[in-house]
Amino acid sequence: MYHTSISDDIQVYCLKATSFPDGVSAVYDRLHTEYPPEGGRSYFGISRPAPDGQITYMAAVKLNNADGTPPPDYVPFTIQKSRYVAIDVSNYMANLPAIGAAFAEMIREPNVAPDGYCLEVYLSPTELTCMVKLKD
């Protein structure tokens, strides 16, 4: 576990999964069909607990300049410039439980922002960084 920063706000567009974890794969399938990895796009996962205790999960894409306006069901979201606690996960598709374990460890950090979120930053088809926003 290490601390890192995002130096500038990142504007993304999100599709909400119908459920967590069961709906996550379907929402990424749609996202990648409509906005394929070619073209310099970046992908993220954003999650946080809902008031009822369920997890709200959104798959997100940072569009490139040629993409235009996304369909109306894509929700704009700003990944905030801030400090984060982070854990890198290698070969994540072969070990999906490692993602949950990383977030479970990070949310115990005493400086986690109470209004923050869990952030997955997809670096490649096999590598991602899990991050949790810290208090400013």
pLDDT digits (tens, 9 = 90+) for 9-21: 999 999 999 988 8
Find the mean pLDDT for residues 112-122. 91
- Tell me: pLDDT of 7 over 90: yes
If pLDDT is split at 50, 70 and 90, which confidence band does 88 have?
very high
Find the mean pLDDT for residues 100-111. 90
* Model pLDDT, residue 67: 86
Contacts of 1 (CB under 8 A, 6+ apart): 85, 86, 87, 105, 106, 109
If pLDDT is split at 50, 70 and 90, which confidence band does 128 have?
very high
Find the mean pLDDT for residues 73-88. 94
Find the mean pLDDT for residues 21-39. 89
Percent of the chain past pLDDT 70, that is, above it, reads 100
